[in-house]
Amino acid sequence: MEKLLKMASDQADQAEVFHLRKKTSPVNFYNWRQADILFRNLDEVSLRVIKNGRIGVVKGSATEDREWMVRTALMAAEVGPQVQFRFPSESSGECGARICDPALVSMDPGVMISDGQAIYDQVRRRYPELPLNLYFDNEITDLTILNTSGKAEAYQKTQYTVCLMSMYENSKEGINKEITSCRYFTFPEDVIEELLGENRLSRVLVKVPTRKMPVLFRASSTWSLLYRILEGANGANKVRGVTPLKEKLDKPIFGSNITLIDDPTMDWAPGSTPFDDEGVPTRRKMIVDRGIFKQFIFDLDTGSRDGGGSTGNGIKRSMWTRGIEVNPNPRFNNLVLLSGDRSVAEMIAGMDEGLVVNDVIGFHSGNILQGHYSMNVGIGFYVRNGSVQGRAIDTMIAGNIYEDFHRVSGMSSRQDYNPVVYGPDLLIDSVSVSGTD
């Protein structure tokens, strides 16, 4: 990688090499009987060069011909966009968070097979007929960044994921529970019990009336709402002038009980890192402080266009590709929604009438930038007089987070990960629900 940087720096004004190595071993169990493993050993690199104020990029498998990479990046820079930033030189110092578990680095895949077997054994005692898939993955990432400003840093990170997916009768879907951490864990028995309990409650199907009612978004579903703030606070959307938050800095956008922090210093959090994918040191920062919008997130390019520089949120990876994305995008490192002091049981018991939403379908519907949502309730429960009546069918919920998050009346003390946020279950007082009863 040093050779690649040297070759590029001989011909360009600035250069950056980003090297990602990933070893994963996902184990899939299909419904008690079937299983498979796909090992991955991936090695990818991207090169960015800046010449005469213009940037060019190329990425590829790490085995690719260095000369070709440099030549292609320089060609891209000839017609590439003008940029005003320098690659960072600031040292990231010690990573504030523990993100690598040696037990995972040396783990044999047989452990996942026997852990999977153990989960099946626990479920079998209670529900031998329950269709249930399991997914385990042990991912070890080695990431290195080198640039011509003198940055040469690396980190190793582990990420362990276990997911249980039950399926309803006549369906491919059902209650899911998933946990991910940088540290090895055995799947907690109480979460398995919760899955079995919710599965039992789902056997009764109930129709839901159309009116406004309290909705308890379980931690597994809040990401569909918070995805809107991810777009709203994205500095690229500010630079483009399309986010409604551009006028809202230091103004209230949510109720005063909502605090969102981007915290890359949290121990064992999958989003914790010492520096982002452009080498900018990450830091803990307030996004929404007791309802007040505090800051946008930027990568080097959007930060320089906006004037304030990068916030350490330039991410070059996407969940879907497993490798390197060509261009960085402002993304949260580890978004945390601060928890409350209630329990799920207590919040359900306090509802005269309401809905519990575990999972939604169609999170991308509605005008996302404006905060609208209109989603089908995938897995949800209808509550009357403080008790769950059964699984809510044919139910839709709609609203706008910039209005609804002023009416959050309860949050659980427990936090969980979902694809966007580490946060609690969230009770919103009055949400438009449309059903068929």
Partner 1 sequence: MRTYLEEAIRHSDSDYADAMYEDTRQMTITFNKTDIQNVSNTVLKGGRVTVLDQGGYSGMSFTRAEDIRNALETAVRGARTVSKFDCTNRLLPAPVIVDEVKPGTGIDPAGISFDEKVALAREYIGIVLEVPNIFTSYGGYTETFTRKTYVNSEGTRIVQDVSLCFFSCRMIAREGNRTESMGVSVGFDSDYARLLNRHDHIRQRAMLCSDLLKARPVSPGVYTIVADQDLSGVFIHEAFGHLSEADDTINNKSLQKMLFMGRRMGCDRLNIVDQGNLSGASGYYVYDDEGVRASRTYLVKDGILTGRLHSRLSAAQLDGQLTGNYRAADYRFMPVVRMSNIYIENGGTPFEEMVDSIRSGLYLCGGKGGQTMGDLFTFGAQYGFEIENGKLGRMVKDINISGNVFDTLKSILKVGTDLRMNEGGGCGKTRAALFDMQMLDKSGTGGPSIQIKDVVIGGE
Binding mask 230-249 for partner 1 (x = CB under 8 A): ----------xxx-x-----
- DSSP conformation class of 263: -
Chosen residue from 44, 276, 299, 425 binding partner 1 by CB under 8 A = 44
Pairing of strands 387-393, 205-207: parallel
Site for partner 1 in 14-33 (CB under 8 A): 25-33
Query: Distance between CA 198 and CA 193 in Å, rounded?
Result: 9
Does residue 410 interact with partner 1 by CB under 8 A? Answer: no
Does residue 366 interact with partner 1 by CB under 8 A? Answer: yes
Q: What's the angle, vertex CA 402, arms to CA 336 and CA 271, rounded to 5?
A: 20
Site for partner 1 in 112-141 (CB under 8 A): 113, 116-117, 131, 133-135, 137
Contacts (Cβ under 8 Å, ≥6 apart) of 98 = 182, 183, 267, 268
Does residue 200 interact with partner 1 by CB under 8 A? Answer: no
Dihedrals phi, psi of 306, to nearest 5 degrees: -80, -25
Does residue 352 interact with partner 1 by CB under 8 A? Answer: no
Residue 279 exposed, middle or buried by CB count within 10 Å (0-12, 13-18, 19+): buried
Does residue 398 interact with partner 1 by CB under 8 A? Answer: yes
Chosen residue from 3, 79, 106, 190 binding partner 1 by CB under 8 A = 79
Residue range at the interface with partner 1 (CB under 8 A); choices 9-17, 171-179, 279-287, 343-351: 171-179
Does residue 173 interact with partner 1 by CB under 8 A? Answer: yes
Does residue 157 interact with partner 1 by CB under 8 A? Answer: no
Does residue 3 interact with partner 1 by CB under 8 A? Answer: no
Query: Residue 350 CB, nearest distance to partner 1 (Å)?
Result: 28
Token pair 């529900």 is found at 127
Binding mask 321-340 for partner 1 (x = CB under 8 A): xxx--xx-------------
Token pair 């309401």 is found at 354
**Beta strand residue intervals within 202-256, DSSP E:** 205-207, 211-217
Does residue 212 interact with partner 1 by CB under 8 A? Answer: no
Chosen residue from 10, 106, 171, 250 binding partner 1 by CB under 8 A = 171
120 vs 340, beta carbon nearer partner 1: 120
| Neighbouring C-beta atoms of residue 209, cutoff 10 Å | 13
Size of the site for partner 1 (CB under 8 A): 95
- DSSP conformation class of 407: -
Site for partner 1 in 283-312 (CB under 8 A): none
Sign of CA dihedral 364, 368, 374, 375: positive
Site for partner 1 in 418-437 (CB under 8 A): 419, 434, 436
Chosen residue from 19, 59, 151, 316 binding partner 1 by CB under 8 A = 59
Using only the alpha carbons of the chain, give its radius of gyration: 23
Q: What's the angle, vertex CA 44, arms to CA 110 and CA 268, rounded to 5?
A: 50
Q: Which residues pair with 129 in a beta bridge?
A: none
Does residue 224 interact with partner 1 by CB under 8 A? Answer: no
Does residue 392 interact with partner 1 by CB under 8 A? Answer: no
Query: Distance between CA 100 and CA 68 in Å, rounded?
Result: 34
